[in-house]
Structure 1
Amino acid sequence: MGKVGNFQKLVRESCKSDSFTLDSALGMFESMLQTQPKPPVSSFNQILGAITRLKHHSHVPPLVRSMGGARIKPNLVTLNVLINCFCKVGRVDFGFAVLGCIIKQGLEAGVVTLSTLLKGLCLRQEIDEAMELFGKIVEKGYPCNEVTYSTMINGLCKSGQVGAALALLDLMKNGRIAPSLRIYTTIIDGLCKEKQVDEAQLLFKQMVDRNIVPNLVTYNSLVHGFCSLGIWEEARRLLDEMGGRGISPDVSTFTILIRALCKDGKVREAVQSFEEMRQRGVKPIGSTYSYLIHGLCNSELWEEAMKLLGDMLEHEFSPNVVLFNVMMDHLFKQGRASEALELFEIMDQKGVNPNVIIYNTLIHGLCICGHWRKGMSWFNVMLEKNEVSPDVQTFSIMIDALCKEGMIKEAYKLLELMIQKGVEPNSVTLNSLMDGYCLQGDMRNAVEVFNLILDGGHKPNVRSHNILINGFCKARRLDEAYLLFRSISRHTGLAADTVSYNSLISGLYKVGRAGNGKELFNEMQQNGLKPSLLTYVILIDGLCTNDYFDEAMNLFHEMEKRGIKANIAIYRTIIHHMGKSRNLKEAKNCSIAYLGQNYNWILNYIHQ
């Protein structure tokens, strides 16, 4: 063997070596360009092929160009590798340009070249163009092989055109090309994703009849199809059949099953599947944990979800930002602010970058747990770090918190900062500010904010009106409240809701306008709104305050007939007023009816 032969052998063996890296390939390629006499083009092709296998596709085109500069003429193999690389980086148009060069040089573009271009078009989801090219391949009599059909069928199934894939399968059979397990599995998976499980099962039977043995991927596709339709018995039968064939379910099988069970609300069965998976020695992956934790959260099994989250973290899996958000939100709503903050710190340690949604959950959670100062600190962190910018919801949360604390000036400054930062306030932001002014009895500024909503092009919603109506009522400015109440439907196309009626009825009774309050209650029912328990509390208290005791008791009994269960507030109201009016019989009746709750308070009040 001469020098050239030895060199070719070295190239060939190097390219096959597991230790062959991109740097090794580039160094060897450059060395070959400088060698005299030049090595054959096949040696260059071997290195280009090795680089392609290493998935460094973008390095190939400049190397092919350098071959031309060194007067080494690329052959068909070189150009096929180049087409493949262009297709892999999403430049199938450049691939077709290379095809033009092949034809121009008088080379024969065979099935390998055309199949590569087909795959490139399918990767870009250009299925119509791929079908057109496939038609030309068949029309020109190129011998399509299993790879050509597999490429086209895979592309069709991924784009949801399973019917066309089935037609190609028939064409393939007619051309006496035996479909492989991979092709059958691809179509079965496509049918299952389109929820055509009966057709998938029929194709599965045809495949088995042809003595093609299904594998784990085939079964997983079918299990997914039946699970997505909630056909659990068939899914379980398939799992048993897998066992009969000696195929053990893997983590994908169990994850498919757990996800579907959780989605269908069968969280207990999902937990059982999770335990079965572990008993079989199959280790869960991050998504397995995530689906089950979401399922437990949706079923409000929070403690179990927290326990599983701890298990997930112990096994070094990092929940995604969505899962952290769900769990933190729950902890805050349970008043467990310190645990929620711990979870936020864990998220940071795991390298999960918080987004604006999770910051909003954190800040809002701290505020509702009474830690608004900590919420403000995190808000300032967002401003200082400038990694995640506060959005309209973030500003609205803090403005609302400040208003509830009576810090209306600070809330207004935050509104100014919001506008300065280019974040446009919405009706939620302005509603919070308006509510803050109303809580302080500053109706002039509250009305100004309401007008600001109108002037800013925002359409005031029912809540905007309700805040102002309630503010006017508390300020005993009932005529203005009444006019605003009537303007809800007249000027904005909205409809007053139960809250609107409750606020105005309460205000009317407090200023002694019981007649107007009764009229409004009747109107509310005529408009199809069902009185809430709060409505009855307001009415009974108002009637009793205005000495309409009989009407109050009639209303109380009407409420009971409607199936609205009285709470301690309504019993206290009745007992208080009946006691004051010396109507001890009714007071005692109410006491007996509600004797099970606050027993001592009731007896003490009656004795007084």
Structure 2
Amino acid sequence: MAGASRGYPNADLYAPVKAEKDPIDALSLLDSIAAHHPSTTPPRPVLLSLLRSLCASAPGHLPRLISLLRRLPRSPRLPHDAFALVLKALSRIRLPDEAVEVFRQLPGILQRQPCVRCHNALLDALVRAGRWQQAESFLAYFSSGGGPTPPNLESYNIVIRGLCERGHAGRAVELLRDTPRRGLRPNCITYGTVISRLVKASDQSRALELFDEMLENDVTPDVVCYNVLIDGFFKEGECEEGLKIWERLRKDSSVSPNLATYNIILNGFCRLGRFAEAMAVWEKMAASGHRPNQFTYGSLIHGLCKSRDVDGACRVSSWMIRSGVAPDNAICNSLLAGFCLVGRIDDCLALFEQMGREGRRSVVSYNVTIKGLLEKSRVEEAVAVWERLKEDGSCLADSTTYGILIHGLCKKGYINKSLRVLAYAEDGGKDLDLFAYSSLISGLCRHKLPQKAVRLFHRMIARGHKPNAHVYNSLMNGFFKDSQIQRAVEIFKEMEVGECPPTVATYNTVINGLCKASRFSEAADFAKEMVEKGLKPDLITYSTLMDGLSQDKKLDAALGIWNLVLDEGLEADVVAHNILIRGLCAAGRTEAALVVFFKMRKNRNFSPNRVTHNLLMDGLRAVGDFKRASSIWSEMKRVGLEPDVVSYNIALKGLCSRSETSEAVELLNDLLARNITPTVVTWNILVRAVVPSRITPT
């Protein structure tokens, strides 16, 4: 002890400070002793020990210690590294002003200028706190001789990192290329920071250019650089470019792929649905001695589930468990979603119950299960799962839950149940988003309840949700279906006033509604207005107009629209072709209709469907071309399309119009033998054919 006292004067006086375990209490004790013995200087080991403890566990109190050091009668001669540590600690907890103040006091404490490490620590504090202007001013001061030595590479790396965090990749590249002029050689960190920023900005080409420049300058990239580039290319869907970087990594003798590399490639292949290649990477990873982690397994399981290979996903899950890695909630949720996707709802429920027993359910688990049950029309079970969620203390229903439940119930026709769920959520102040309201508005409109939909629309706005085009379109569609044409048009005008620009889908809704109401000239006016507003009509627009013009007996105008579709290079689908055939047949132009039909048969993207054949048969029957109508019937069966009740009605109408009642009865028996239920139209055709032949004049 005597030796210690001789080595460090005042050691006994300050011994209680060193003995105190709590650094804040130790600082208070030091302050008290120094105040009572102002002529003494605490021993250097005591100060260093306290300084390091405060840096580690209470950095916010460091300015107090620095202030105390300034008041000491003699400099304790602490090393520069100790003060660099102080500045780094203040940087870590985002206290830039305190860091600046400490830096200003250092010359008085050290009795010389702070070292470059202290300058860099302050620079880092300013960058971390987002004090960009101060950071750049400080670097300029530092570079102009404000420090004992010029800035080193770490100084520039700090500023480059700050520029990249702000999204200023261009300036970061300029600063990187300016460092050689200052006698500094950029290293892997310098290049890696900028490459990472460029990749995040989806500028893969510049990132690759910088990567190549790095190699040309004999700077060896680390595995992180390779990983960032590979991941960037995969995320942008440029798989082949990513694989080229992967091959360069494998050939680079100075660096080896790590687990993160394999995870990136595996995840990339899974996202792109290239599972054979993903499995090949899996095998390479195992052969190289890398043990898959939860992310590895999760990527593969999620990808396999999305591709509907749920059995494969289950096998990977079994491997995972056997290797001692427990599936987390996200992986289990992927499996739940996979089971629902392929319709294995009972397996989904079994896993859901197991997750409950193991305490691994989240709100996502409930959402996935509810959605799966609703899609399979197991409505009561879906509602029961929601009721369980309400009682589950470990998680709460979110906006997605209510959106899924309300949307699913509406889709299945359970409007009243949907309204009760909405009322429960609203009354309880639950989280509801626009999707929940728009789903219910659409459902009410589909069930011809537009007035209720409008009341809900106003409630939605009152709760702070701004209606989008989909909501307005649903309301208009509802009023058109309810034959309230003028009200639908008024909704369109309200939409424009409400600062929600009409979309192509909006105009299609209005044009279709007006055409169905036989208000063809108004529909044409809306089509003209649509084009004047710079919106480009799509195939639905043209098809709707063609149908309306055909109904209005303006076939030439409809054919003009058809030619416009072809001129625009739009790929007319089977619906558009059927509309054209219907119009031609209605006008008695069956030869032209047959030309369209034969062109459809040569189309690679689609073939004539049952509706096409029915339209042609009916058109040919109407002009008395029974022979070719019969050949269309045979053609339909030849291509594997089974006639439906409409097909039979058309054929029966043809037979009965020729008084071939026995053949008609035979055809009726064929219809019944195929378990097709006759409609009122079927019986009317037969009755009208048979009854007159049995009545004799009186």
Task: Tell me if TM exceeds 0.5.
Answer: yes
Map of 2:118 onto structure 1:
43
Map of 2:522 onto structure 1:
449
Larger Rg: 2
Distance 1:217 1:428 in 2: 46
State the SS of the aligned residue for 1:134: helix
Distance 1:388 1:316 in 2: 28
Distance 1:305 1:361 in 2: 17
Distance 1:536 1:499 in 2: 19
Q: Is the 8 A contact 1:216 1:247 kept in 2?
A: yes
Q: Deviation string for 1:244-289 (max 9, x for gaps)?
A: 3322122233233333443344444333333344444433452x44
* Deviation of the 1:91 alpha carbon: 1.9
State the SS of the aligned residue for 2:466: coil
Distance 2:669 2:560 in 1: 32
Distance 1:196 1:400 in 2: 42
State the SS of the aligned residue for 1:239: helix
Q: Which amino acid aligns with 2:93?
A: T
Q: Is the 8 A contact 1:296 1:304 kept in 2?
A: yes
Q: Deviation string for 1:16-66 (max 9, x for gaps)?
A: 48x9632x34333345346654644423433554677xxx56335633424
Q: Is 1:377 equivalent to 2:455 in the alignment?
A: yes
* Deviation of the 1:97 alpha carbon: 2.4
Map of 1:246 onto structure 2:
324
State TM-score, norm by structure 1.
Answer: 0.71
Alignment counterpart, residue 27 of structure 1, candidates 94, 98, 114: 98
Q: Is 1:353 equivalent to 2:430 in the alignment?
A: no
Q: Is the 8 A contact 1:462 1:488 kept in 2?
A: no
Q: Is 1:82 equivalent to 2:159 in the alignment?
A: yes
Distance 1:195 1:13 in 2: 51
Map of 2:78 onto structure 1:
5
Distance 2:383 2:419 in 1: 14
Distance 2:275 2:492 in 1: 55
* Deviation of the 1:182 alpha carbon: 2.9
Q: Is the 8 A contact 1:122 1:152 kept in 2?
A: yes
Map of 2:475 onto structure 1:
398
Distance 1:203 1:383 in 2: 52
Map of 1:184 onto structure 2:
262
Q: Which amino acid aligns with 1:368?
A: R
* Deviation of the 1:560 alpha carbon: 0.8
Map of 2:507 onto structure 1:
426
Map of 1:107 onto structure 2:
184
Alignment counterpart, residue 169 of structure 2, candidates 86, 92, 99: 92
Q: Deviation string for 1:209-261 (max 9, x for gaps)?
A: 45443322233334345545555555444333333332212223323333344
Alpha carbons of structure 1 residues 400 and 141: separation in structure 2 relative to 1, 3 Å: closer
For structure 1, the residue ranges without an aligned partner over 5 or more in a row are 439-445, 471-480, 506-513, 585-608
Q: Is 1:271 equivalent to 2:271 in the alignment?
A: no
Map of 1:565 onto structure 2:
676
Q: Deviation string for 1:549-590 (max 9, x for gaps)?
A: 947953861761684612463587589879987979xxxxxx
* Deviation of the 1:84 alpha carbon: 1.7
Q: Deviation string for 1:123-181 (max 9, x for gaps)?
A: 33333333333333333333444444444444455453342233133223x33x45433
Q: Is the 8 A contact 2:653 2:685 kept in 1?
A: yes
Q: Is 1:338 equivalent to 2:416 in the alignment?
A: yes
Counterpart mapping for 1:471-490 below 5 A: 483-484=553-554
Counterpart mapping for 1:3-402 below 5 A: 5=78, 9=82, 12=85, 15-16=88-89, 21-22=93-94, 24-33=95-104, 36-37=107-108, 39-46=114-121, 48-49=123-124, 56=128, 58-60=130-132, 62-66=134-138, 68-69=140-141, 71-72=146-147, 74-159=151-236, 160=239, 161-172=241-252, 174-175=253-254, 177-227=255-305, 232=310, 234-284=312-362, 286=364, 288-312=365-389, 314=392, 315-319=394-398, 324-344=402-422, 349-354=429-434, 359-380=437-458, 388-391=466-469, 394-402=471-479
Alpha carbons of structure 1 residues 183 and 556: separation in structure 2 relative to 1, 3 Å: closer
Distance 1:539 1:121 in 2: 67
Q: Is the 8 A contact 2:160 2:172 kept in 1?
A: yes
For structure 2, the residue ranges without an aligned partner over 5 or more in a row are 1-43, 45-74, 532-536, 564-575, 588-617
Alpha carbons of structure 1 residues 558 and 463: separation in structure 2 relative to 1, 3 Å: farther
Distance 2:661 2:160 in 1: 91
Distance 1:521 1:331 in 2: 49
Distance 1:310 1:427 in 2: 40
Q: Deviation string for 1:95-114 (max 9, x for gaps)?
A: 22222443232123223322
Bigger Cα displacement from structure 2, 184-193 vs 82-91:
184-193
Distance 1:289 1:13 in 2: 49
Alpha carbons of structure 1 residues 97 and 380: separation in structure 2 relative to 1, 3 Å: same
Q: Is the 8 A contact 1:86 1:92 kept in 2?
A: yes
* Deviation of the 1:429 alpha carbon: 0.9
Q: Is the 8 A contact 2:305 2:338 kept in 1?
A: yes
Alpha carbons of structure 1 residues 61 and 276: separation in structure 2 relative to 1, 3 Å: farther
State TM-score, norm by structure 2.
Answer: 0.63
Q: Deviation string for 1:384-419 (max 9, x for gaps)?
A: 88852452x544543444455454444454455456
Distance 1:447 1:112 in 2: 68
Distance 2:247 2:186 in 1: 26
State the SS of the aligned residue for 2:184: coil
State the SS of the aligned residue for 1:271: helix
Q: Which amino acid aligns with 1:81?
A: I
Map of 2:17 onto structure 1:
none
Q: Is the 8 A contact 2:266 2:299 kept in 1?
A: yes
Q: Is the 8 A contact 1:226 1:232 kept in 2?
A: yes
Alpha carbons of structure 1 residues 547 and 397: separation in structure 2 relative to 1, 3 Å: farther
Distance 1:48 1:520 in 2: 92
Distance 1:407 1:219 in 2: 56
Distance 1:521 1:397 in 2: 43
Q: Which amino acid aligns with 1:215?
A: N
Q: Is the 8 A contact 1:332 1:369 kept in 2?
A: no
